[in-house]
Amino acid sequence: MNNYVGNSLQIRGAERYVLQEGKGDGMHFIYVRNGKGLEAWISVDRAGDISRIAVDGKNMGFFSPCGYVAPNYYDKEGLGFLKSFTAGFITTCGLTQVGSPCEDEGEVLPLHGTVSHIPATVCVIDEDNDGITIKLKLIDSVIFGKKLELCRVYRFSYNENSFEMTDTVSNIGDRQSPYMVLYHCNMGYPLLTENSILKIPHNSLTSREENAGKYIDSALLCEKPQPQYQERCYYYDVKEQGGVAKVGIYSTDFDIGLVMSYDKKCLDCFTQWKMMGVNDYVMGLEPGNCDPDGRDITRKNGVLKFLEPGESGTTGIKFSFVSDKAEFENNF
């Protein structure tokens, strides 16, 4: 007990609130502070994804021109996903489709699947001396079809500016289900500028499309915002040490950085989304168990993953924020 403090929320903890007005009207959020400068806004109505992150008042993620958009505005036709793509710090893609809209075995599938537009239920908010744990659950199911359950656990440290996110997807139905998940982690200003250092240690690098291939030698270079910039995507075989893969970004302009650590056995694919546009200025660092090519191509290539009835898959990422360039570099 701190004798200087009347209520722990004076320093740290979690609070819940509801947005008012606009397309975000009625959306539920959990606002978390760790007392060391880390702030996070968890969007309960958007799969429990993280819409915004700040450290010492410095923004980390990309908040798209769409802003906050409630699930009832979701348009699953074609590229309609982009009308409600808040982006934020994390948008979860899946759970049975990731990437380009397509048709697979007679099922029409939208861009990046539907999970990011499914509201979650808050199950637990539990605090101890070392941090705060938040557990959420959502059901991604349809009658006569797939029945998946996503259980998400956040653990925010009170000892350092870091948090962990762990997802367990369970097949609670009676038939085999495709299992696709990609974490669309979106870096934005001021973490991202033309002077930021991007680290993706890799064994190999390939471009997703022809235009990106023209610039593959500069894939890891950040650039100034440019009008009518054409997005570029790259696929990496990220190096690992002891099964752990690490990628990161550091702003030399603002002395703030991020290191993402994850188990490569569970998230064996990695996509870089490079979009250096005016007002669309974002660098996506995206671990996944698949590439964003769409389920039809993933199946055709023989790399589509499945969950059998009663089977579960667990994935997770640790996000560590640093304010020292040497500390950042030592991770790689």
Domains and CATH numbers, the chain: 13-191+208-233+272-322 (2.70.98.10)
State the Cα–Cα distance between residues 11 and 131, nearest whole angstrom.
12
Cβ burial, residue 204 (10 Å; 0-12/13-18/19+)? exposed
Per-residue pLDDT of the chain (332 residues; tens, 9 = 90+): 689 999 999 999 999 999 999 999 999 999 999 999 999 999 999 999 999 999 999 999 999 999 999 999 999 998 999 999 999 999 999 999 999 999 999 999 999 999 999 999 999 999 999 999 999 999 999 999 999 999 999 999 999 999 999 999 999 999 999 999 999 999 999 999 999 999 999 999 999 999 999 999 999 999 999 999 999 999 999 999 999 999 999 999 999 999 999 999 999 999 999 999 999 999 999 999 999 999 999 999 999 999 999 999 999 999 999 999 999 999 99
Whether residue 190 is preceded by a cis peptide bond, meaning omega within 30 degrees of 0, is: yes
SS3 for the chain is: CCCCCCCHHHCCEEEEEECCCHHHCCCEEEEEECCCCEEEEEECCCCCEEEEEEECCEECEEECCCCCCCHHHCCCCCCHHHHHCCEECEEEEEECCCECCEEECCEEECCCECHHHCCCEEEEEEEECCEEEEEEEEEEECCCCCEEEEEEEEEEECCCCEEEEEEEEEECCCCCEECEEEEEEEECCCCCCCCCEEECCEEEEEECCHHHHHCHHHCCECCCCECCCCCEEEEEEECEECCEEEEEEEECCCCEEEEEEEECCCCCEEEEEEEEECCCEEEEEEEECCCCECHHHHHHCCCCCEECCCCEEEEEEEEEEECCHHHHHHCC
- Alpha-carbon distance of 48 to 28, in angstroms, equals 10
Q: Which of 272, 262, 270, 275 is nearest to 189 (CA)?
A: 275
Residue 329: helix, strand or coil by DSSP? Answer: helix
Look up the pTM and report it. 0.97
Do residues 278 and 226 make contact, with C-beta atoms less than 8 angstroms apart?
A: yes
Alpha-carbon Rg for the chain, nearest whole angstrom, is 19
Helix (H) or strand (E) holding 297: helix 295-300
Whose structure tokens read 């910039």? 229
Question: What's the rounded Cα separation, in Å, for the pair 25 and 27?
Answer: 6
In the chain, how long is the greatest CA-to-CA distance? 64
Per-residue confidence (pLDDT) for residue 1, from 0 to 100: 62
| Distance separating alpha carbons of residues 117 and 76, to the nearest angstrom | 10
pLDDT of residue 2: 84
Q: How many alpha carbons lie under 13 Å from residue 273 in its C-beta half-sphere? A: 22
Please check whether residue 201 is in contact with residue 332, taking contact to mean a CB–CB distance below 8 angstroms: yes
